[in-house]
Amino acid sequence: MLAQLVNFGLVFLALYFIAAKPLSKLVKDRTEEIETGLKNAQKAEMEIAEAKIKKGEILKEAKENAKKILDVSHANSKEILKEVKDKAGLEKEEIMRQAKLDVEKEKKQMEEQVRRETAELIKEGIKKMVEEYTAKGKGENIIKAMINK
């Protein structure tokens, strides 16, 4: 029985050093690896939650900035539209003023042309009358009357 006890002790020691100790170390290393993985997973979850919160803040800020930009651009467009309308009104008044001046100028030119043509017609009419009178011998009386007047 003593031999069996010694054999059992030797087998136990051999199994302990050959199998149990490396298995124990392997289990311990694996446990540490799993715990590290769990800690990293928790840390990653916390970072994801923080990123979601940060994302929400950034989106909110971006929406506010977009709204401000739209408001400013809307106000600017109203100002530009008002300026364009004012400028168009001024241009319309200038065009109307220039058109009136052009009409007056054209009217004066037409009146002057009518006067010249009328004077020419009167001159031609008088010339023909004088030629007829002088051809009939009555020209001397007319010339004398004109000289007297």
pLDDT digits (tens), the chain, 149 positions:
999 999 999 998 998 888 888 888 999 999 999 999 999 999 999 999 999 999 999 999 999 999 999 999 999 999 999 999 999 999 999 999 999 999 999 999 999 999 999 988 988 888 887 777 666 666 666 667 767 76
* CB-based contact 133:142 (threshold 8 Å): yes
133 CB neighbour count, 10 Å cutoff: 15
* CB-based contact 133:139 (threshold 8 Å): yes
- Domain ranges in the chain are 2-148
